[in-house]
Amino acid sequence: MTPLAEIWVYLAQEPLAALTATLLAWLAALRVHAWCGRHPLANPVLIAVVLLAGGLLAAGIDYRAYFSGAQFVHFLLGPATVALAVPLYRQFALVRRSALAATASIILGGAFAALAGIGIALALDAAPEVVASLAPRSVTTPVAMGIAERIGGLPSLTAVVVILSGIVGAALGPVVLDWAGVRDWRARGIAIGTASHGIGTARALSVNATAGAFSGLAMGLNALATALLLPLLWGLLAQ
């Protein structure tokens, strides 16, 4: 093995290499997003995933080796989620006035999202574990993976479906809401947060503070309601 190849093997196994690759992919995705005029379809999350996956495949780096370094970014998911309480606090008076309608909308929206995922899987004659994997598709990734594992699904498949749902919702959600004539920022935030969890919430925050606050609320309540109710209902249906 040549000295250059030895250096490459060493660097590829270092945690700092994975962390650097992740940050570079994200910065490149932001540049592409800006270059495309911040078009909704040029979602930076999707671009970063494609760039990073392509880089790992080209370099022959195993995902486990990559994640040993990227887990530092993964650790920040917790604080980032908690930070969504800040816009919620700033809009607390408005949230309190809309609490009943917002809660009912989130629960109904989460139920419809789960039923839609199950219905699509059943229509395609999917295996039972695939049906279970699609049921929590609108919940944020860590919670969705836990739910899928509990009801007999495949957590890895659930993670992919959840991320795709978030990307599609963030890209097309505002377009669909405009087409439907939904102008209230509270309703727009609830719709995007319920259907597209964290990725959609990030999109909502970048557009309007009220939409971002209600999107964060929807993401949290939908995750809580789905985690509590879906396993119970799944157990009853399985009997």
pLDDT in tens, 15-50: 677 788 888 999 999 999 899 888 777 888 889 989
Phi and psi at 152, nearest 5°, equal 95, 20
Residue after which a domain boundary falls, among 30, 56, 75: 75
User: Does 97 score more than 50 pLDDT?
Assistant: yes
The two three-digit tokens of residue 204, written as one number: 């909502």
Buried b (16+ CB within 10 A) or exposed e, 197-228: bbbbbbbbbeeeebbbbbbbbbbbbbbebbbe
The answer to whether residue 144 sits within a structural domain is yes
Residue with tokens 């997003």: 33
Average confidence score pLDDT of the chain: 86
47-61, 158-172, 179-193 — which one is most confidently predicted on average?
Answer: 179-193
Mean pLDDT of 117-127: 89
Q: For residues 8 and 100, state if they share a domain.
A: no
| pLDDT band (50, 70, 90) for residue 7 | very low
Q: For residues 130 and 228, state if they share a domain.
A: yes
The answer to whether residue 80 sits within a structural domain is no
The two three-digit tokens of residue 218, written as one number: 């929807």
Containing structural domain, residue 61: 3-75
Phi and psi at 20, nearest 5°, equal -65, -45
Q: For residues 68 and 89, state if they share a domain.
A: no
Q: Any residues with CB less than 8 A from the CB of 153 and at least 6 apart, and which?
A: 129, 130, 131, 132, 133, 134, 135, 136, 147
Q: For residues 99 and 209, state if they share a domain.
A: yes
The rounded Cα 30 to chain-centroid distance in angstroms is: 17
Number of domains in the chain: 2
